[in-house]
């Protein structure tokens, strides 16, 4: 059942990505469309191996940079950028390089909070980035960094971890990937649901 849901989700965001690509050809200066495109790429990245995920995330960053060139105060694009750099950092074993990406994530989350100070999700993302380097270290000590960015990460934790640290390790994995996936998922759904409403819910 979970596998079917995951596949449906992948198909959905692939469709959104293709639609955004088509819209971009007609109007390359649509910041909302570029943000949707970047968000879709981040979602699709969750279903690939680390190498392919990195490339998809980098492509997402490129689209989001374009959006921010058009509208530098676009808070949802800033927040997506924070998530993109967070996801990148967790895929990088080297702590120094990962910290550089976490720092970039912090900057973009802070910008999003500055634009929307009352947004609790933005505030939570900013708060979590302060804990990210420590979580990154623990994640890679457990050998989790080689796994794909899929939602099956947290649920797979109990079977892949052994000994007395099993529950703590699985909780840690949920904290890290659950946070990243939730953040990406929410920003994507907020933008995409609004964008697709006229098509998917005709009256």
- Provide the pLDDT for residue 65: 97
DSSP 149: S
Q: Quote the CA–CA distance of 71 and 31 in Å, as a whole number.
A: 7
Look at residue 95 in the predicted model and tell me its pLDDT.
86
Average pLDDT, the chain: 75
Spell out the residues 6+ positions from residue 125 whose beta carbon is closer than 8 angstroms to its own: 79, 82, 83, 109, 112, 183
Question: What is the architecture of the domain spanning 3-182?
Answer: Alpha Horseshoe (1.25)
3-state secondary structure of 176: helix
The first and second tokens of residue 63, run together, are 């689209």
Structural domain boundaries in the chain: 3-182
Q: With CA atoms as reference, report the closest residue to 98 among 60, 40, 141, 154.
A: 141
Please check whether residue 105 is in contact with residue 85, taking contact to mean a CB–CB distance below 8 angstroms: yes
Residue of higher predicted confidence among 51 and 107 = 107
Q: What is the pLDDT of residue 142?
A: 65
pLDDT confidence of residue 116: 94
* Banded pLDDT at 137 (limits 50, 70, 90): confident
Distance CA 20, CA 118 (A): 29
Whether residue 45 contacts residue 149, with contact meaning beta carbons closer than 8 Å, is answered with yes
Which position has the higher pLDDT, 130 or 167?
A: 130
Quick one: pLDDT band at residue 203, thresholds 50, 70, 90? very low
Taking residue 154's Cβ as centre, other Cβ atoms within 10 Å add up to: 18
Residue 159 CA to its chain's centroid (Å): 25
Query: For residue range 64-123, what is the model confidence (pLDDT) as tens digits?
Result: 999 999 999 999 999 999 989 988 888 888 888 989 999 999 999 999 999 999 998 888
| Separation CA 102–CA 93 (nearest Å) | 13
Q: Is 18 left (phi over 0), alpha (psi -120 to 50) or beta?
A: alpha
């Amino acid at each position: 059942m979970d596998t079917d849901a995951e596949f449906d989700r992948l198909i959905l965001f692939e469709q959104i990505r293709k639609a955004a690509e088509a819209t971009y050809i007609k109007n390359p200066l649509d910041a909302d469309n570029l943000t949707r495109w970047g968000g879709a790429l981040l979602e699709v990245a969750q279903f690939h191996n680390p190498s392919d995920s990195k490339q998809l995330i980098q492509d997402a960053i490129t689209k989001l940079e374009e959006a921010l060139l058009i509208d530098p105060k676009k808070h949802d694009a800033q927040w997506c950028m924070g998530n993109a750099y967070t996801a990148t950092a967790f895929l990088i074993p080297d702590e120094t390089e990962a910290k550089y990406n976490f720092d970039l994530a912090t900057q973009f989350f802070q910008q999003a909070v500055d634009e929307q100070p009352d947004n609790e999700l933005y505030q939570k993302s900013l708060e979590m980035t302060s804990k990210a380097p420590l979580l990154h270290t623990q994640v890679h000590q457990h050998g989790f960094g080689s796994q794909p960015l899929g939602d099956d990460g947290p649920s797979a934790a109990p079977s892949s971890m052994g000994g007395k640290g099993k529950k703590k390790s699985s909780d840690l994995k949920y904290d890290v990937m659950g946070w990243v996936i939730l953040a990406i998922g929410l920003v994507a759904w907020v933008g995409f649901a609004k964008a697709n409403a006229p098509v998917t819910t005709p009256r």
